[in-house]
Structure 1
Amino acid sequence: MTTPCASNPPAPTAPTSASTPSLAVLTCEARLFLREPGSLFWILVFPTVLLTILGLVPSYREADDGLGGRRVIDLYVPVAVLLAMIMSGLQAMPPVLAGYRERGILRRMSTTPVRPSALLTAQIALHGAAALGSAVLALAVGRIAFDVRLPGQPAGYLLALLLATASVLALGAMVSALSRTTKVSAAVGSVVYLVMMFTAGVWLPVQAMPDVLRRIVECTPFGAASQALDRAASGGWPGWTHLGVMALWTVLPAAAAGRWFKWE
């Protein structure tokens, strides 16, 4: 499946407001982001649409003894949440940043009072906010349409959600750092995207995987996130091992992105 994202957005204009340069860049980038219906659909709408389609399958709404008495649709709410993050961090953000570099926008910004780092921060903030908004939508639809219980451990669920968002944005920043052009960014992002889709449980919930495969998947950021979100949804505190895996996958790619990221 291909996801049409904003690989060639219009160049950001110089901020003219009296606010701080960083806030002006964020405002400008937010306007450009909202003009991209393709990206907004895949991040905000598609995960919940997929959840709705799966929820309409009668067998997915029936309790399964093999899943501890839970329903398949109960397991797919966290999957929809993670899918939005994958779309945002690995499919939408890297082509935008690579496009700005390829077209010389970052180099031109370096000659103004606005630093290129303000643009990077704005992109991370916008795509992170979109992913979190999609998570709220998926939780709401799951509860209203399919009677999926809200997280029994809200604090733990929120912590796992924030760590998962941070890890995918760090991965997206690393992909952006390694990609000199939008074509390379799309290719690298698609490979990582497909791997993360599997580890997040899009095709097969992590909880239903064989033991050996599940242990391997839990070492990935979204395999760990899936388990952490599922545990918090069931009312328990997320496992510290899963939280640690997500934290590690946040720190290491972020450090790599900071080392390898080039503005021109």
Structure 2
Amino acid sequence: MTGTTTAGRLNALGRAEMTLLARNRTTVFMVLLMPVLLIFVMKSTLQEVGLEDSGLTVAGASLSGGIGMVLLQVVYMNLVAAYVARREELVLKRLRTGEVSDREILAGTALPAVCLALVQCALIVAVGTLAFDLSAPRRPELLVLGLLLGGVLLTALAAVTSALTRTVQTAQLTTLPLFLVSLLGSGLFVPLDLLPDLAASLCELLPVTGVMTLVRAGWLGGVPGHDVLGATLTALAWTVLAVFAGQRWFRWDPRR
């Protein structure tokens, strides 16, 4: 590593990972274009769903949900494949023989994906504010908190999922359960207010639901204070649990 400090080592790992990411055209497409395409698809679907009871517009629901899509695809799904690829290529094992700690290896690998996701989320907010007549973030501190917790949570969940994933190809299958559960039950596009009471109560406990509640409350407002507190505690609890599980069960050796 070119740096002897934690910041220097993270910077070196992040730059190396960004170089590898840029060389993979399929990954670049998934990271940059797929979330945008899904936003337009879901916007067309939401036009047929009554959102009046939730207090959201089609643009507000689709664009705030697009932030969740970015976090899931750019951070979670992309990182599972990255961790598996680096593990099977013995990159992680070689890094562990140097001065870099295990946490620095995992964080450095995740750094480009998390930074890219945050930039895309900022662009979504800017486009929504300027082009779709949505309000500027009403509580930016909640929006930032939601994005940061989402980045850490999904990085940790990616580390956990990679332990269950044998190859890069099977990463598309192992990431599918969390993606579908979050898409359908975490309020990405269909607010939980439109679900039956029992279903909504259960969905509030899903990993990504707290993050999405914070994002929506921070950008669009309209979320009661007790719901914000509950969402924060839920997101923090899942983050702590995921970080612990990632440190406990992450696999460093190839699964050949």
Deviations 1:155-203 (A, max 9, x none): 1221122112221112111112333433443322122222222223356
Structure 1 counterpart of 2:212: 226
Aligned-partner residue type, residue 50 of structure 1: L
CA 42–203 in structure 1, closer or farther in 2 if over 3 Å, else same: same
Aligned-partner residue type, residue 148 of structure 1: L
Structure 1 counterpart of 2:244: 255
2:61 aligned with 1:66: no
Structure 1 counterpart of 2:232: 243
Shift of residue 86, structure 1, vs aligned partner: 0.7
Matches of 1:167 and 1:84, distance apart in 2: 14
Aligned-partner residue type, residue 158 of structure 1: V
Structure 1 counterpart of 2:90: 104
> What's the secondary structure of 1:174's corresponding residue?
helix
Structure 2 counterpart of 1:125: 111
Matches of 2:153 and 2:144, distance apart in 1: 14
- 2:75/2:154 contact within 8 Å kept: yes
> What's the secondary structure of 2:97's corresponding residue?
coil
Structure 2 counterpart of 1:24: 12
Structure 2 counterpart of 1:10: none
Shift of residue 215, structure 1, vs aligned partner: 1.3
TM-score by length of 2: 0.83
Structure 1 counterpart of 2:70: 84
Shift of residue 257, structure 1, vs aligned partner: 0.9
Matches of 1:62 and 1:144, distance apart in 2: 25
Identical columns (%): 23
TM-score by length of 1: 0.80
Matches of 1:239 and 1:72, distance apart in 2: 22
Matches of 2:3 and 2:216, distance apart in 1: 45
Structure 2 counterpart of 1:3: none
Matches of 1:58 and 1:188, distance apart in 2: 26
CA 123–59 in structure 1, closer or farther in 2 if over 3 Å, else same: closer
Matches of 1:18 and 1:169, distance apart in 2: 24
Shift of residue 93, structure 1, vs aligned partner: 0.6
Deviations 1:140-163 (A, max 9, x none): 222233212222111122112211
CA 99–63 in structure 1, closer or farther in 2 if over 3 Å, else same: closer
Root-mean-square deviation (CA, aligned residues, Å) is 2.8
CA 110–49 in structure 1, closer or farther in 2 if over 3 Å, else same: same
Matches within 5 A, 1:97-246: 97-114=83-100, 117-202=103-188, 204-232=190-218, 233-234=220-221, 239-246=228-235
Number of aligned residue pairs: 247
Aligned-partner residue type, residue 82 of structure 2: V
> What's the secondary structure of 2:208's corresponding residue?
helix
CA 226–18 in structure 1, closer or farther in 2 if over 3 Å, else same: closer
Q: Gapped runs of 5+ residues in structure 1?
A: 1-14
